[in-house]
Structure formats: structure tokens, C-alpha cells
Structure 1
Amino acid sequence: MLEKVLVNYGIDKFQCDISTIGNGLINNTWLLISKNQTYILQRVNNDVFIHPEDIDNNILLVTNYFKKNYPDYFFVSPIKALNGKTMIFVEKEGYFRMFPYVKNSKTILATQSPKQSYEAAKAFGKFTKLLSNISLKEFKIVIPDFHNLSLRFQQFKMAIKNASSTRIDQAQTSIDYLLRQEIIVNEYEHIVQNNLLKYRITHYDTKISNVLFTQNDENLCVIDLDTIMPGYFISDVGDMIRTYVCPVTEEEPNIEKIIFREDYFEEILHGYLEQMKNDLTDTEIGYIVYSGKFMIYMQAIRFLTDYLNNDIYYGAKYEQNNLVRTNNQIALLKKLIEKESQLNQIVINVCKKLNS
């Protein structure tokens, strides 16, 4: 299969070493070593991204903007194929693109220190800040309604209506809890209806594995730009909170292991606000803690929706995998809500420190 792809880049499959890398649920990724050059090859999942060419459009807009306005900003751009395009289509195989491999870099699958939280948040903050003046009009919406919480909540309620009695019984406690938290949806709708947050370029997938690090845990650059499109900062900051503050992933079935690490939360704020403090409004800063609730809650209802729909989106490694994921996120949401006033005070303290 890859032979048909690599010929588009002038690479002979039989003269390179190829290995599968990454643990992403969406795209397939390979590491290629050819004639002392190393590359990353990726196949874009066009079941999730209906129009892969829109991803290419958005990445090229960002690439060209950085080259023109911030030529010293380190950014990994896609490599052009022999036809001059940065994304190719191979019949019966799909859409592919290639990137240069950054030597002496590493990715981190789970946040292991407050410093890593700081560095990743700083990277995403700088990325967003540098793009603060880019025109949004030519950007495509690669996944419509991706973080539309109102729609996700409606899909959740529809799944409850259509689910089997067996799955409803197994998930009833989780269903009841998430329905009682509808106030999070109401707040999102209040934000949207009153234009409380600025519409800006958003990464939409700020897990720590989407930052390249040096061997000394300093950030090099942001990667995986498939989901960049206009949106709200709560998507990026909220997903950093969701994925950095807990020492275990959403796959962890043992609820006792789920904790909310305040020092990691504080370092997210330090890193992000060092870059974005002059770009966020006071209203937006007031929604930082809410951003965590927003993303954790949305991920919980998406997992539970999929469970009730018989695991058709995320898939499942075992029968109740998506219910386990749901309860994991519910536990994290509860931890955040318990500490909410404390976390708001941390926001105030960090802002004071950065402004002093």
C-alpha cells in the first residue's frame, strides 16, 4: 500500500525502513528512514474528516502566515509531493501527507511533571497569540459543530431515547448525573448567545502528545494541526485541564486513581497566560475554570452517547469500555467541581503575579 504513496514523493519503499508509530485513534502514522533522511507519513481518516482538503487548506494558511510574519517561529510544515501539493490522494488508499522528522525531539503521552504542563501550555499559548491577527475568512470548518455542546447534549438525549434497555440499565447512574449537570450546557449557550468570548484560531486538540519537546522537557513546537479552525479559547485551555491535571488517562477503570492536581493546573495557567494575558479579555479569564468543566463534561457525554449507541464512533476494546471512559470523566468533573472556588483563586493569583 505505501509503495503507491511513497512514489509521489520520489521515495522507493524498498530502500527505506518503515515503522508504525503513535497511538492516535483517528489517523495512521508511520516513521520513514530513507537515504539518511527521516520523515513522518500520515494517512488522514476521511471518515472523520469528510473533506481532508480543508485540513490542508488550513495548515497552509497557518504555514504561509508564519513564514511571512514570524519567520523565526519554529513550525513543522508539510512536505510538498512531486506534484507540488502538500496532501495527496491515492486511489483506494486515501489521503496522505508527509512531514520532516524533528531530530532530537520527543513526544510525551501523559503529563509527568508540572514543568511539562507549563511548557505545553506555553507552546499552545504562543501558537494562539501569534495567530491572533490572522484573517479567519479563508479557514474551513474541518469538523462542523465539533465542540458545540448544545448539539452534543441533544445527541446524548437522543441516544438515551433510542438505546437498548440493557445499556440504559447499566448506565443509569451515569445518565442521571450528567443530566443533572445541564447547567454546564446552559452556561455554554449563554456564552454563545451573548458573544462573550472572542472567535479566534483554535487548535482543538491540546493534549500533551501534540507538543514536540526537547530531551530536557522544553517545548519545541505544536504539532497535529488537523483540527485547527476558528473557535473559542475554552476548547484549548479546557482540554489541557482535562488531560494534564489527572495522572491517569480516560481509559483508567479505577476511580480511586483519578485526582485533580492543582500544581499542574497552576502551571497550565502560568504557561498559557504568559503568552495570552494581553489577548484574553477579563471575561475570558473568568471562564478559565469553566473551560475545564466544559471539556470534561462534553467528553463524558460523548463517551456515554457512544456507549448508548453501541460504540459506533470511538469503538471499544471491551464491552463496557465507553462506560468506563464516561465514569472516569465524571469522576474528574466531580473533583474539579469540589475544588472550583480554590481553582478560581489560583486563576486570580496567577494573573496578579503575571501583572506585577
Structure 2
Amino acid sequence: MELNLDSEVLEAYGYAKENTKITQIGTGLINRTYLLSPQTEEKKYILQNINTSVFKSPQAIANNLRAISDYLNFNYPEYLFIKPVSTANSEEMAHIHNEYWRMLPFVPNTISLDVLADPKQAYEAARQFGKLSRLLDHFDAKTLQPTIPGFHDLGLRYEQFNLALNQADETLKQDAKAQISDALTHKYILDYYNSYAHRKDFPDRVMHHDTKISNVLLDSETNEGICVIDLDTIMPGKFISDLGDMMRTYLCAFSENETDLEKIKIRLPYFEAMIKGYLLEMKSILTETEKELIVFSGKYMIYMQALRFLTDFLNGNKYYPTSYPTQNLDRVKNQFKLLYELAVNEKELQDIIEENLV
């Protein structure tokens, strides 16, 4: 879809509206994304409007990316880190009519996927996310600003669930009775995490926090991993965030919107490929505690997402887009089924992990 943008946005980056083709791209739900094709040069660019209802402090994103880019440029200059292009006034973002925009170089001959179709893709994606974390192992994560405070804080998500439960309409609570019981029963996941949280060898690292397959670029011909993209959520966190999110989104052939729970199964070849790719980069720096928690990282992230869907249902479906009233409840059922499948397959999953930690 070709469309027009406010000419001031283009002018901020030194381009004229009449000489630039603009096409909306991407399937992300947070930021609006466009492909710019200036007629005056061969290069293309990605232009994004930052959603300030989600990212309250766009400057925190800019500060984080600048600090990481400077570190990588100095220590690993060969690494492809997609740093925003400066405006004509040498600013990191354009601030136009109370909206924030940033421009990124377009990487040619690459693709991003919405759905995994081959274990090789899982391997390449996991390796890229692991590589970024490895290269930033000695970067001081404490210098980064949280761009979404509490994003992967399971304790906070459980508190939000309890608050919603206490305030919810009785009809909604009755509709979600079984799922509320599941949420309470699985609180042991939070308790287990808390028993590890303050260990010295469970460090905060620089984490991407959104490791779905669409956030990595692959070579369009070979499917080889090229680099990580959509860097807004890079901030301090536990390794659980990235690896657990990959487990949640890579291991099942169907998304959280699938209502036929019989289809929610763990794809072992995808798990093995993902673990191989991730540990190829990360096993040299993971601590003993982190190695213990590899399978648990999937439980943590799946349970947290189930809580978030359930909380939104009890709050009246205010956060996640829904196409029918009980969709969030169906998503909760989906995630608890995925959590069950992870537990059922845990021994085999752990065997795969042990083989790749050698």
C-alpha cells in the first residue's frame, strides 16, 4: 500500500515528498512502519513512528541504542547493528507534531518471517539473538534505561492479575473460573523464579525482550541469519526473557489465537534447532544457574503471557486487540495447553539441552 506522510517528516531527514515513494510494511502491532524509496539515490530506508502509548520515553530508546551502537562499533566493528539514521539536524529522532519518528537503513537481500517454516530458521534466529547477547556480555546493562518498565516482571504481572481478579465483574470471573484456577495453581512458577532471583550467578544482561521470528533478518536466498531488528525493547533483563520468548513463539506450529487445543504441541526438531543455535553463541558465558533454568525459561514466559491474557479478559479486554469477547480467554487456554506440553516433554527437552551444553 503506497501512501503519503506529512512532508515535514520527510523533510526532517532531507527528503522531499514528491521525490520519495512510501509504502507501509510489516505486521507489527506497536509501531507503524514504512519503506522509503528516494528517487534521488539507490538506498532505501525504514521509517517508523514510535508508539508513545507503549513507549512512554522515546528518548530512552534513542539513548540505549546509541550506547550499544558505540560499544559494538568500538569492540566488534564487523557486527551489523541497525543504528538509526540521524536527521538533517543531527538528531536521533524527528519530533513532528508531537509524534516521534526514526529512520533506519534498509538491509537489501533479506527477509523477515511471520511464521517459522523450517527448523533451520529457528536455528538461525536463535543464534542471532544469542550472538547479540554474547557480544554485549561485558557491556554494563545497568547503564540502559528500561523502555517498558516491568515488561517481563512476572511478579508484577501476578500482582496485576490479582488486582484484576479482585475488581472483575462476577460474570467474567465465572466465565474464567477454570483459567483462574490454573493461574493460581501455577503460581509455583513465580515462587520458583523468586528462589533463584537473587543468586549472584543469575545476572542482568542486555536482552532484546521480543524474540519472535519477525524480529530477525534472514538472507533471502539461504535463510542464513543476518542481524536482529526492532530494538526498542533492548534493556536490562534475565536471559529467560529472550530464550523463553523463543520457546513460547517457536515451538508450536500455531499461535496463541488457535482455539483447537489438540493442535498445540511442541515441535521437538524446532526446539533442538533453537537450542543448538542459541547455545552455540551463549553456552560459553551462561552461568551454572542459567544453565539450570533453560527449560524453566519457557515455563516462565508462557505462564506470564497466560496471566497477561487472563488479566486483560478480567479487565474487559482493554489491552490486546480482540475480534470476539472471549478471545483473550481462548488465548489463556492456548497458553496453558502449551505450558502443559512443555512439562510433558521436559525430560526429552532437557536431554537435548545437555547434549548441546557439552
Q: TM-score, normalized by length of structure 2?
A: 0.95
Q: CA deviation at 1:342?
A: 2.0
Kindly indicate whether residue 271 of structure 2 is the aligned counterpart of residue 260 of structure 1: no
Instruction: Give the corresponding residue for 1:186.
Output: 191
Q: Which moved more, 1:172-181 or 1:190-199?
A: 190-199
- Aligned equivalents of 1:185, 1:284: Cα separation in 2: 16
Change (3 A) 1:195 1:151: farther
Secondary structure class of the residue paired with 2:141: coil
Asked whether the equivalents of residues 201 and 287 of structure 2 are also in contact (C-alpha less than 8 Å), the reply is no
Runs (4+) off by over 3 Å: 193-196
Residue deviations 1:208-237, cap 9 Å, x none?
111000021110001111011111000000
Instruction: Give the corresponding residue for 1:318.
Output: 324
Letter in 1 for 2:120: K
Unaligned runs of 5+ in 2: none
Q: CA deviation at 1:111?
A: 1.4
- Aligned equivalents of 1:10, 1:318: Cα separation in 2: 44
Q: CA deviation at 1:305?
A: 0.5
Which residue of 334, 342, 349 maps to 2:348? 342
- Aligned equivalents of 1:307, 1:135: Cα separation in 2: 38
Instruction: Give the corresponding residue for 1:64.
Output: 70
- Aligned equivalents of 1:191, 1:88: Cα separation in 2: 42
- Aligned equivalents of 2:264, 2:233: Cα separation in 1: 28
Which residue of 77, 80, 88 maps to 1:82? 88
Which residue of 161, 165, 168 maps to 1:156? 161
Which residue of 180, 183, 186 maps to 1:175? 180
Aligned residues: 351
- Aligned equivalents of 1:253, 1:198: Cα separation in 2: 37
Kindly indicate whether residue 157 of structure 2 is the aligned counterpart of residue 126 of structure 1: no
Residue deviations 1:146-193, cap 9 Å, x none?
111111111111111111122212211111112101100101211223
Secondary structure class of the residue paired with 1:67: helix
Instruction: Give the corresponding residue for 2:304.
Output: 298
Secondary structure class of the residue paired with 1:193: coil
Change (3 A) 1:95 1:164: same
Instruction: Give the corresponding residue for 1:288.
Output: 294
Q: CA deviation at 1:343?
A: 1.3
Q: Which moved more, 1:285-294 or 1:332-341?
A: 332-341
Which residue of 221, 226, 230 maps to 1:220? 226
Instruction: Give the corresponding residue for 2:108.
Output: 103
Instruction: Give the corresponding residue for 2:333.
Output: 327
- Aligned equivalents of 2:346, 2:142: Cα separation in 1: 37
- Aligned equivalents of 1:264, 1:67: Cα separation in 2: 33
Asked whether the equivalents of residues 201 and 288 of structure 2 are also in contact (C-alpha less than 8 Å), the reply is no
Secondary structure class of the residue paired with 2:197: helix
Asked whether the equivalents of residues 252 and 265 of structure 2 are also in contact (C-alpha less than 8 Å), the reply is yes
- Aligned equivalents of 1:110, 1:282: Cα separation in 2: 33
- Aligned equivalents of 1:190, 1:148: Cα separation in 2: 15
Instruction: Give the corresponding residue for 1:273.
Output: 279
- Aligned equivalents of 1:326, 1:96: Cα separation in 2: 34
Kindly indicate whether residue 29 of structure 2 is the aligned counterpart of residue 25 of structure 1: yes
Unaligned runs of 5+ in 1: none
Q: CA deviation at 1:100?
A: 1.1
Letter in 2 for 1:165: E
Letter in 1 for 2:110: S
Cα RMSD over matched residues? 1.2
Instruction: Give the corresponding residue for 1:11.
Output: 15
Which residue of 126, 135, 144 maps to 2:149? 144
Q: Which moved more, 1:28-37 or 1:295-304?
A: 28-37
Which residue of 45, 53, 71 maps to 2:59? 53
Letter in 2 for 1:253: T
Report percent identity of matched pairs.
44
Asked whether the equivalents of residues 142 and 236 of structure 2 are also in contact (C-alpha less than 8 Å), the reply is no
Secondary structure class of the residue paired with 1:316: coil
Q: CA deviation at 1:317?
A: 2.3
Q: Which moved more, 1:187-196 or 1:42-51?
A: 187-196
Q: CA deviation at 1:318?
A: 2.1
Q: TM-score, normalized by length of structure 1?
A: 0.96
Secondary structure class of the residue paired with 1:56: helix
Letter in 2 for 1:295: M
Asked whether the equivalents of residues 161 and 311 of structure 2 are also in contact (C-alpha less than 8 Å), the reply is yes
Secondary structure class of the residue paired with 1:291: helix
Q: CA deviation at 1:196?
A: 4.7
Secondary structure class of the residue paired with 2:111: coil
